[in-house]
Amino acid sequence: MAVKIQENSQEEQQSWLKSPIKVAGVKFAPLVIPAERRLQTLLAAFWICCIPLLTVSASILLVVLLFTDLRWISILYITWFMWDCKSPYRGGWK
């Protein structure tokens, strides 16, 4: 009988590691997922957060450069952007 209790507790530990963990209504991945997969998920979330932040920071830099001696960079970029904005509809750069 004591052996059965010990086997059940090991099975429970393994099932706990393989089942998702739920904290405050949010399901987290099981603990037995390899570290490489966890790192991939972390980096994917990082890039999802970076894209909007980089877009906003590049726009702010463009506006700030308009009010400095380097305004020619902003003017060149805006000119190129206006000239190139319809290239996807024309078939790109063929």
> What is the C-alpha to C-alpha distance for residues 7 and 3, in angstroms, rounded to an integer?
6
Residue 9 DSSP one-character state: H
Residue 8 in this model has a pLDDT that exceeds 60: no
User: 55 falls in which pLDDT band (50, 70, 90)?
Assistant: very high
Domain boundaries, the chain: 41-71
Over residues 75-90, the pLDDT tens digits come to: 999 999 999 888 888 8
31: closest CA among 17, 47, 46, 52? 17
Phi, psi (rounded to 5 degrees) for 21:
-95, 135
CA count, 13 A, side-chain hemisphere, 16: 6
Report residue 8 as tokens.
């059940």
